[in-house]
Amino acid sequence: MAPRVATGSLRNLTRVGLDFVFPPVCLACDTETSSSGLVCVSCFSRLSHLVGACTRCALPLPAGDYADATGQCMSCASSPPPWAAARAAFIYEGTARKLVLQAKYADRLDILPFLAKAILQEGASLMRDADYVVPVPLHRTRFRRRRLNQAALLARFIARSSRQVRLIPDALIRTRATTTLARLRPDERRLALEQAFTVAASARGRLLGSHIVLVDDVLTTGATASICATLLLQSGARRVDLLVAARTVKLSDMAGADEYAEE
Ligand SMILES: [Zn+2]
Ligand SMILES: [Zn+2]
C-alpha cells in the first residue's frame, strides 16, 4: 500500500518549491541556510555520527580492541542478531533526534531526503550487493494517527539511489497493534510481537535467495528489527542487513524502551 500523503505533507512539499521565492532555511531550526534541504552550521555541530561502531549492531565501540576481526562487538559475537550487518547515519540525540521526530510527527517530508542521503553514506557497502529494500511496517491504526510511515518513505528514497536494488514496500505487514502489549510480561510481549508481523504472500517469491536491506528510522532495542529480519530469513532471504537513520546509544534511553513502547 502506497503511503498516503496528508495535507500537512503537501504543504511541506510546496515549501520545497517555495525555496525559489523565499530563502532556504535549516531543516531543524528554520535559520537561513545557503541552500535548501540542509541543516545550519549550529545544528550540524549537534549531529553525532557513529564513528568506529560495531558493524553488526551499530553501537559505538569504546576502542578498536573491543571488536573482533569482522568489526563486531563482543556482545554481537556471543549472541548475534539475526541480521548480518547494521549501519546508522547518526546517534539518536541532538539534531538527529529532532529531525527524526519532526519527520515522524509533523509530516516533514522535506527532512526525509536529508536522512536518506546520510543513511546511504553509511550503508553504501551494504547496498552494493543488495537485491531489495524493505521497510519496517507501521500498523494501520498508527498509520492513520501519524499519517505517514517514515520508514517506508526512507526505504523509497534509498531504493531510488540504486539501479539494481528494488523496493518491496509491503513485504512485511503488521497484523495487530502492539500498543496493547505494554502490560504483558517480557516473554509474553516477545511472543505477541512475533505474532504481530507477517510476510506478505505476494512478496515470498522475490524474497527467496535474496539479499534484503531492512530500513527503519530508529534502532533502539532491536526487538522489532530482529523479528522482521527473522521473518524475512524464514521466508527464504539469503541475507538481511539493517539501515537506520539513528541509533539509540544511551543505556538510559534503551532500558525498558521497546519499540512498541517508544513508537
Ligand atoms: Zn539549524
Ligand atoms: Zn555489536
Domain boundaries, the chain: 9-43, 46-247
Number of H helices and number of E strands within the chain?
A: 12, 7
Nearest ligand (C-alpha, residue 29): 1
Fold of 46-247: Rossmann fold (3.40.50)
Whose atoms come closest to the Cα of 57: which ligand?
A: 2
Whether the Cβ atoms of residue 154 and residue 217 lie closer than 8 Å to each other: yes
User: From residue 29, how far is each of 39, 96, 161 by CA, in Å?
Assistant: 8, 12, 27
How far away, in angstroms, is 89 Cα from ligand 2 center? 16
Strand 197-199 with 172-174, pairing: antiparallel
Q: Which residue has the higher pLDDT, 244 or 36?
A: 244
30 alpha carbon – ligand 1 mean position (Å): 6
Q: Tell me the whole-structure pTM to 2 decimals.
A: 0.85
The DSSP output letter for 73 is B
What are the tens digits of pLDDT across the range 169-228?
999 998 876 556 667 777 887 787 788 899 999 999 999 999 999 999 999 989 899 999
Question: Ligand 2 center to residue 72 CA distance, Å?
Answer: 5
Please tell me the number of the ligand nearest to residue 40's CA.
1
pLDDT in tens, 63-110: 656 788 889 998 999 999 999 999 999 999 999 999 999 998 888 999
Q: Is the pLDDT of residue 259 over 60?
A: no
